[in-house]
Amino acid sequence: MSALSLKNLDVSYGETKVVHGVNLEVAEGESFALVGESGSGKSTILRAIAGLAPEWTGEISVLGKPRSHGVDRSVSRTVQMVFQDPYGSLHPRKTIDAALSEPLAIHGIGNRGERVEAVLAQVGLDQRFRFRFPHQLSGGQRQRVAIARALMLEPKVLLLDEPTSALDVSVQAEILNLLKRLRREQNLTFLMVTHNLPVVSFLCERLAVMRHGRIVEIADVAQLKQGELNEPYSRELLAATAGA
Amino acid sequence: MTTRDWLLADSPTSRLQANVGRAYRVFTALLRNPLSVLGGIIILVLLLTALFAPLIAPFSPTGQNLSQRLLPPSGVNWMGTDELGRDIFSRVVWGSQITLTIVALVALISAPLGLLIGAIAGYFGGWIDKILMGFTDIFLSLPKLILALAFVAALGPGINNAIIAIAITSWPAYARIARAETLTIRNAEYISAVQLAGAGPIRVIVQHILPLCTSSMIVRVTLDMAGVILTAAGLGFIGLGAQPPLPEWGAMISRGRTFILDQWWVATMPGFAIIIVSLGFCFLGDGLRDVLDPKSEGKS
Amino acid sequence: MSPLLEVENLRVSFPTHSGRVEVVKGLSFTLGRERLGIVGESGSGKSMTGRSILKLIRKPGEVTADKLRFDGIDILDQSEKQMRAIRGARISMVMQDPKFSLNPVMSVGEQIAEALMTHQKLGRREVQQRILDMLTAVRINDPERVAKLYPHEVSGGMGQRIMIAMMLIPEPELLIADEPTSALDVSVQAQVLDIIDDLVTRKGMGLILISHDLALVSRYCDRILVMNAGRVVEECAAGQLAEAQHPYTRGLLAAMPVIDETRDELPVLDRTQWAGT
């Protein structure tokens, strides 16, 4: 059974259609990347799956079950999202503890204190961070908190929207290692949006190259590593990265 | 470990400590601004005066003594006496209770009301927003005092009706602010994150959006308090607010008007009280704005 | 030939609750008509270095240096008025995000004209010609049309090229580019940097390229300074980056994933070793 299945997905923001007829299957436990430049619609697909971009037609299934438009309580326990900007994704007036307890409180799950401690340990944050406010944390630490928050409901699928592009290289390495380890430990499925091909090469197994709201090519990471992408646009992207 | 260390700890050990610590930081920041300290002291004096009015006032605020009419300020009657021989100082002291009641009730009624309406309009958008904000705009387009006048005229004169009327006329400004803030907050990623966790709109608004609007609301309410006091005094002055013999400051000025040329103190003394208390709220509000501004957050 | 820019023991500090904190701690380098890259992570002081050369550090920040000379002029001695004559005309700076650097209510052509006219007196026709030439030089295809556009009508990459045109039209001797491409897509990044590179080499200008991206800097510069916590930890020729000695530089290089990644885990910097920020 595939973890995520998109059939003929069109997504619009008001009058403008930004994603056109996307078909995609992501297997359970797979790590899949959506690659493209800004405006290619890759983040929009993520938001549609999460329920944050409700104006779509076609079909989105999560673990075999078609999902509704909009945010949905049952989906929230299977799919969670990590955002790009670690400075904008944490509530400025809530402690880390409050941010991590919130999903548990919403779903009426008990034992919150212990669960928060456990998840902090999982993402490699010391317990002394627990009652700090976001402004007392560095970018990398905030991103760890954001990942921890996404893990609170023990989802099967994580949607990652450029999770490391706002971070320094050395911090990026830490977060990438963390994501890789979490995926192995919890058998998570990743759907990651990024413009950074080396990150794809490190973390993913397959990738889809997007342009102007359409998927241009779906390829294996092995193809990426050997520089054997088929479409001219994919090669262009690869050349721009490899040239550096 | 001293209390101060506990309050300023970098790694608090409980949610309570974290929140108290934050409040303490705001408080110390406030103390660094001399004007806001002055404002705070004025408000504190007002509070204490209202609380201990029976102990402070040397005479009864309503007891008449026609042989003592219109005496100038002296060692016995610090602010002189009025046309019925009542001690003006005692009346001003007792009047602080009325002023404080008006201020507190107006704040308690209008701020939460405006906050909620604004946040709902901003969060849902669409036709809900259009209806709520259309309603708000109708109130905003009428002059406050005139509108309050109309309400009091309809409800009947009296201090309670004056409070209701002022509260009804002052929430729209708060609704506007709350809506503007909500519009910028609602698309933030931390709001998306709680929505993704399955939180319903009520939870998102009450627990996540409102806490971010409150600081600017506190600032705005504090600054508006001066206006509220003046409106209340204005209503009292016209005779539609507090009714005699209640020692309401505006009503006192109104009656002193008749003697303003010969017995200046009758109108001037309650006037001073109004000015000082209004200034106190303004100073405190300015200071609060500087320390509560979310933009200065994180630069600690 | 005397160097274009001499910096000796540059220090930048800001006050905090716990006393003044130095963000640049004694930086020294000289620059000829060459391309120098300054690389570092956030908080390394690289941007502050660029700003202090243009005297753009605002109070309560404080800049001191034993020597900060541009073409023989002591920058620290210059008044604000004298600095205005240097900024733009002799030293230019390209910032990270064109969206915040362009005036939204002036057309692109007007802004470039203004950049030129503040420093030189020229006839109208000549100004127009220079603008069109400059836009062509930054590889904008139909300069006449673009000159009439407003900033919100152009894409990010185009905006950054317009910024570069604005900065280079007074023909400065030194260009400071602070993360000029990090807000742009990868394919556009290369274009923009190629343009900068081309113009700098052709006009014989000095270039300071400030970036967090080691690979990018090594490709477009002759010499590289690696900064960490306000200090230069490594100075080397761009070609020899792979043989870098300092553990911090080596750590940074290793932490970057590569396109044909085979490592299961990326090596992580041990921060305690250079505990800075």
**Residue C41: per-residue pLDDT:** 86
What ranges make up the beta strands (E) of chain C?
5-16, 19-31, 35-39, 62-64, 67-70, 73-74, 91-94, 174-178, 206-211, 223-228, 231-237
**For residue A16, is it within any domain?**
yes
Task: Answer yes or no: is pLDDT of A92 > 60.
Answer: yes
Task: Tell me if chain C has a CB within 8 Å of the CB of A174.
Answer: yes
Q: Quick one: pLDDT band at residue C271, thresholds 50, 70, 90?
A: low
Alpha carbon of B12: minimum distance to chain A alpha carbons (Å): 5
**For residue C55, is it within any domain?**
yes
Q: Report the domain count for chain C.
A: 1
Of C185, C251, C256, the CB nearest to A198: C256
Task: Answer yes or no: is pLDDT of C270 > 80.
Answer: no
Helices (H), chain A: 42-50, 73-76, 96-106, 112-122, 139-151, 169-186, 197-203, 221-225, 232-242
Three-state secondary-structure class, residue A221: helix
Task: Answer yes or no: is pLDDT of B178 > 90.
Answer: yes
pLDDT average, residue stretch C142-148:
88
Alpha carbon of B42: minimum distance to chain A alpha carbons (Å): 30
Which residues of B, range 245-264, sit inside 8 Å of A by Cβ? Answer: none
- Chains contacting B with at least 3 CB pairs below 8 Å? A
Q: A29-58: per-residue pLDDT in tens? A: 999 999 988 878 899 999 999 988 888 999
**Residue C260: per-residue pLDDT:** 85
C214–A169: do the CB atoms touch at under 8 Å? Answer: yes
Q: Please provide the average confidence, as pLDDT, over all residues in chain B.
A: 86
Which residues of B, range 173-212, sit inside 8 Å of A by Cβ? Answer: 188-190, 192-199, 203, 207-208, 211-212
The DSSP code for A124 is T
What ranges make up the beta strands (E) of chain B?
none
Q: Has the ipTM of the complex gone over 0.90?
A: no
Question: Closest residue of A to B213, CA-based?
Answer: A93
**Residue A48: per-residue pLDDT:** 92
Of A83, A128, A152, the CB nearest to B189: A83
Nearest to B83 by CA among B266, B242, B261, B239: B266
| Measured distance between the N- and C-terminal CA atoms of chain A, rounded to whole angstroms | 39
- For tokens 């902090």, the residue is A120
Residue B283, C-beta contacts closer than 8 angstroms, at least 6 positions apart: B35, B36, B38, B39, B40, B42
pLDDT average, residue stretch C9-38:
88
**Residue C212: per-residue pLDDT:** 87
Alpha carbon of A89: minimum distance to chain B alpha carbons (Å): 4
**Residue C274: per-residue pLDDT:** 47
Domain that holds residue C200: 5-255
Q: Which CATH superfamily groups domain B42-296? A: MetI-like (1.10.3720.10)
**Residue A67: per-residue pLDDT:** 87
Q: Which residues of B touch A71 (CB under 8 A)?
A: 195-196, 198
Task: Provide Rg for chain C, Cα atoms.
Answer: 19
| Measured distance between the N- and C-terminal CA atoms of chain C, rounded to whole angstroms | 39
Residue C54, C-beta contacts closer than 8 angstroms, at least 6 positions apart: C83, C86, C87, C91, C93, C176
Q: A103-117: per-residue pLDDT in tens? A: 999 999 988 999 999
| Measured distance between the N- and C-terminal CA atoms of chain B, rounded to whole angstroms | 22
Of A88, A90, A102, the CB nearest to B197: A102
Task: Tell me if chain A has a CB within 8 Å of the CB of C190.
Answer: yes
Region for residue C63 given its phi and psi (left: phi exceeds 0; alpha: psi -120 to 50; beta: otherwise): beta
Cα C32 to Cα C36: distance, rounded to the nearest angstrom = 9
Q: Which residues of C touch A174 (CB under 8 A)?
A: 268
Task: Tell me if chain B has a CB within 8 Å of the CB of A176.
Answer: no
**Inter-residue contact A170 to A138 (CB < 8 Å):** no
Q: Which residues of B touch A102 (CB under 8 A)?
A: 194, 197, 199, 207
Residue of A202, A220, A225 for testing the chain C interface, max C β-carbons within 10 Å: A202
Q: C228-266: per-residue pLDDT in tens? A: 888 899 898 988 888 888 888 888 888 888 888 888 888
The residue that leads in pLDDT, C155 or C224, is C224
Of C212, C259, C264, the CB nearest to A197: C259
**For residue A199, is it within any domain?**
yes
The DSSP code sequence of A136-179 is GS-HHHHHHHHHHHHHTT--SEEEEESTTTTS-HHHHHHHHHHH
Q: Report the CATH number that the domain containing residue C121 is assigned in CATH.
A: 3.40.50.300
Three-state secondary-structure class, residue B286: helix
Q: A199-223: per-residue pLDDT in tens? A: 999 999 999 999 989 999 999 999 9
Residues in chain B: 300
**For residue A197, is it within any domain?**
yes
Alpha carbon of A11: minimum distance to chain B alpha carbons (Å): 18
Cα B110 to Cα C276: distance, rounded to the nearest angstrom = 50
Task: Answer yes or no: is pLDDT of A71 > 90.
Answer: no
**Inter-residue contact A202 to C257 (CB < 8 Å):** yes
Cα C246 to Cα C225: distance, rounded to the nearest angstrom = 12
pLDDT average, residue stretch B227-239:
83
Question: Closest residue of B to A80, CA-based?
Answer: B196
Q: C187-221: per-residue pLDDT in tens? A: 778 888 888 888 888 888 899 999 988 888 888 89
Of A95, A103, A146, the CB nearest to B15: A95
Domain that holds residue A44: 2-90+154-242
Task: Answer yes or no: is pLDDT of C276 > 60.
Answer: no
CA atoms within 13 A on the CB side of A130: 21
- Is C253 buried (19+), middle (13-18) or exposed (0-12) by CB count in 10 A? middle
Q: C73-128: per-residue pLDDT in tens? A: 898 888 888 888 888 888 988 887 777 778 888 898 888 888 888 877 888 888 88
Cα A21 to Cα A23: distance, rounded to the nearest angstrom = 7
Three-state secondary-structure class, residue B114: helix
**Residue C180: per-residue pLDDT:** 85
**Residue B207: per-residue pLDDT:** 92
**Would the CA dihedral through B200, B205, B206, B208 be positive or negative?**
positive
Q: Which residues of C touch A84 (CB under 8 A)?
A: none
Task: Answer yes or no: is pLDDT of B298 > 50.
Answer: no
Cα B273 to Cα B260: distance, rounded to the nearest angstrom = 17
**Residue B297: per-residue pLDDT:** 46
Q: By 3-state DSSP, what share of chain C in percent is helix, strand and coil, each rounded to 5?
A: 40, 25, 35
- Is C126 buried (19+), middle (13-18) or exposed (0-12) by CB count in 10 A? exposed
Cα A174 to Cα C139: distance, rounded to the nearest angstrom = 39
Q: Which residues of A touch B12 (CB under 8 A)?
A: 95, 131-132
**For residue A8, is it within any domain?**
yes
Q: Quick one: pLDDT band at residue B11, thresholds 50, 70, 90?
A: confident
Q: B25-43: per-residue pLDDT in tens? A: 888 888 888 889 999 999 9
**Inter-residue contact A46 to A80 (CB < 8 Å):** no
Work out the number of other CB atoms within 10 angstroms of the CB of residue C247. 14
The residue that leads in pLDDT, A208 or C140, is A208
Cα B34 to Cα A37: distance, rounded to the nearest angstrom = 53
Lowest mean pLDDT among B159-163, B175-179, C18-22: C18-22
DSSP strand pairing (C5-16 vs C62-64): antiparallel
**For residue A107, is it within any domain?**
no
Task: Provide Rg for chain A, Cα atoms.
Answer: 18
**Inter-residue contact B240 to B153 (CB < 8 Å):** yes
What residues form DSSP beta bridges with B47? none
> CA dihedral in degrees (C247, C252, C255, C258; nearest 10)?
-120
Domain with CATH 1.10.3720.10 in chain B: 42-296
Lowest mean pLDDT among A212-216, B169-173, C28-32, C160-164: C160-164
**For residue C175, is it within any domain?**
yes
Nearest to A195 by CA among C189, B177, C272: C189
A240–C213: do the CB atoms touch at under 8 Å? Answer: no
Q: Report the CATH number that the domain containing residue A65 is assigned in CATH.
A: 3.40.50.300
Question: Closest residue of A to B23, CA-based?
Answer: A93
Cα A136 to Cα A139: distance, rounded to the nearest angstrom = 10
The DSSP code for A199 is H
Cα C204 to Cα A206: distance, rounded to the nearest angstrom = 46
Residue A138, C-beta contacts closer than 8 angstroms, at least 6 positions apart: A171
Distances from the Cα of C200 to the Cαs of A227, C68, C97, C197, in angstroms?
32, 22, 21, 5
Nearest to B168 by CA among B183, B155, B177: B155
Nearest to C169 by CA among C201, C211, C145, C134: C134
A240–C189: do the CB atoms touch at under 8 Å? Answer: yes
Region for residue C150 given its phi and psi (left: phi exceeds 0; alpha: psi -120 to 50; beta: otherwise): beta
**Residue C214: per-residue pLDDT:** 85
The residue that leads in pLDDT, A82 or C96, is A82
Task: Tell me if chain A has a CB within 8 Å of the CB of C263.
Answer: yes
**Inter-residue contact B294 to A92 (CB < 8 Å):** yes
Q: What angle do CA C47, A194, C101 make, to 5 degrees?
A: 35
- Chains contacting C with at least 3 CB pairs below 8 Å? A
Alpha carbon of A55: minimum distance to chain B alpha carbons (Å): 15
Nearest to B185 by CA among B172, B197, B198, B195: B195
Q: Which residues of A touch C179 (CB under 8 A)?
A: none
Q: B54-111: per-residue pLDDT in tens? A: 888 888 888 787 787 878 888 777 788 888 888 889 999 998 998 889 889 999 999 9
**Residue A175: per-residue pLDDT:** 93
Work out the number of other CB atoms within 10 angstroms of the CB of residue B277. 23
Q: Report the domain count for chain A.
A: 1
pLDDT average, residue stretch B43-53:
92
pLDDT average, residue stretch B254-276:
86
Backbone angles phi, psi at B161, to 5 degrees: -65, -35
**For residue A113, is it within any domain?**
no
Question: Closest residue of C to A177, CA-based?
Answer: C265
Task: Answer yes or no: is pLDDT of C272 > 90.
Answer: no
Which residues of A, range 186-205, sit inside 8 Å of C by Cβ? Answer: 195, 197-199, 201-202
B297–A92: do the CB atoms touch at under 8 Å? Answer: yes
